[in-house]
């Protein structure tokens, strides 16, 4: 037996494990196939797909570029405003929650309860918050801002916690030893360590919130979602086309800018 064959024999034998996993996956696949039945497909589906493509290639340019309150441009600005303000609200509210959930700052049980709260906040779908906030503020962009803010808290706090738990405490110890006050320790010991990673997280979340804000209109919480669904319900494909084009272009731009900014933050 030469060296190569020995090496081959030494490889871990995981055939049984792989077979079991593969069987489970195949069973899950077969089980989930029962959810779809092809009889749902309407005869008109293909025609509608064609219409949507037609709308995308022949968008309503007037709707896209005029400056009234119904124009795509105005609605996109409103969507950005919802996402921006929501991100700010969420970013501020998430800071205390993150410190309460960091196991190196507070005692274990407190951190555990806060984490549970964060999981609950994260799991409830944004549209549910949207519908609840509409009862508070009435229809419109304000409800969207609150929704985006609340949904952001879950993820932001979770990522903040990661940054806080990586905090280099040696810096704080040395500051204590040279006699810094608590305020000075926070200002010069903690803030510089956390600020850039917090900002990077917030910019990333803003990027996600753009998508979030663009769907909130479907429940009436402002932004571009409502006109989109109205245009689709009334089969105005050229309007659908112009809204989709505007949305995609805007999200691409924001994603590009946010990636650039975050790369800069990471490099310092």
Binding residues (CB under 8 A) for other proteins: these are 25, 28-29, 31-38, 40-42, 45-46, 48-49, 52, 77-78, 80-82, 84-85, 88, 119-120, 123-128, 131-133, 135-137, 140-142, 144-146, 211-212, 214-215, 218-219, 222, 225, 228-229, 232, 244, 247-248, 251-252, 255
Per residue, the 3-state secondary structure of 143-202, as one string, reads HHHHHHHHHHHHHHHHHHHHHHHCCCHHHHHHHHHCCCCHHHHHHHHHHHHHHHHHHHHH
The least CB distance from residue 167 to other proteins, in Å, is 21
The least CB distance from residue 249 to other proteins, in Å, is 9
H-helix or E-strand spanning residue 56: helix 45-57
**For residues 15 and 170, which CB has a smaller minimum distance to other proteins in the complex?**
15
**For residues 107 and 125, which CB has a smaller minimum distance to other proteins in the complex?**
125
By the 8 A CB rule, do 111 and 100 touch? yes
The least CB distance from residue 224 to other proteins, in Å, is 10
Residue of 260, 155, 249 lying closest to 205 (CA atoms): 155
Residues 6+ apart with CB under 8 A from 68: 74
The least CB distance from residue 233 to other proteins, in Å, is 10
**For residues 102 and 213, which CB has a smaller minimum distance to other proteins in the complex?**
213
**For residues 69 and 170, which CB has a smaller minimum distance to other proteins in the complex?**
69
Residue of 243, 252, 248, 250 lying closest to 61 (CA atoms): 243
The least CB distance from residue 170 to other proteins, in Å, is 25
């Amino acid at each position: 037996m030469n060296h190569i064959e020995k090496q081959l024999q030494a490889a871990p034998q995981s055939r049984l494990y792989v077979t079991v996993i593969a069987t489970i996956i195949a069973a899950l696949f077969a089980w989930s196939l029962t959810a779809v039945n092809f009889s749902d497909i309407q005869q008109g589906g293909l025609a509608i797909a064609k219409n949507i493509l037609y709308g995308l290639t022949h968008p309503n340019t007037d709707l896209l570029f005029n400056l009234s309150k119904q124009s795509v441009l105005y609605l996109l600005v409103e969507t950005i405003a919802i996402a921006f303000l929501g991100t700010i609200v969420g970013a501020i509210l998430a800071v205390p929650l993150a410190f309460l959930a960091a196991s190196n700052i507070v005692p274990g049980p407190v951190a555990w309860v806060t984490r549970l709260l964060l999981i609950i906040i994260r799991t409830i779908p944004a549209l549910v918050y949207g519908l609840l906030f509409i009862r508070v503020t009435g229809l419109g962009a304000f409800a969207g801002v609150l929704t985006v803010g609340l949904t952001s808290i879950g993820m932001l706090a979770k990522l903040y916690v990661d940054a806080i738990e990586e905090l280099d405490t040696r810096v704080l110890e040395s500051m204590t030893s040279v006699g810094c006050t608590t305020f000075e320790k926070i200002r010069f010991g903690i803030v510089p360590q956390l600020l850039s990673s917090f900002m990077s997280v917030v910019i990333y979340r803003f990027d996600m919130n753009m998508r979030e804000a663009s769907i909130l209109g479907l429940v009436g919480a402002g932004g571009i979602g409502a006109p989109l669904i109205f245009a689709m319900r009334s089969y105005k494909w050229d309007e659908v086309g112009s809204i989709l084009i505007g949305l995609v272009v805007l999200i691409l731009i924001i994603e590009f800018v946010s990636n650039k900014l975050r790369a800069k933050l990471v490099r310092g």
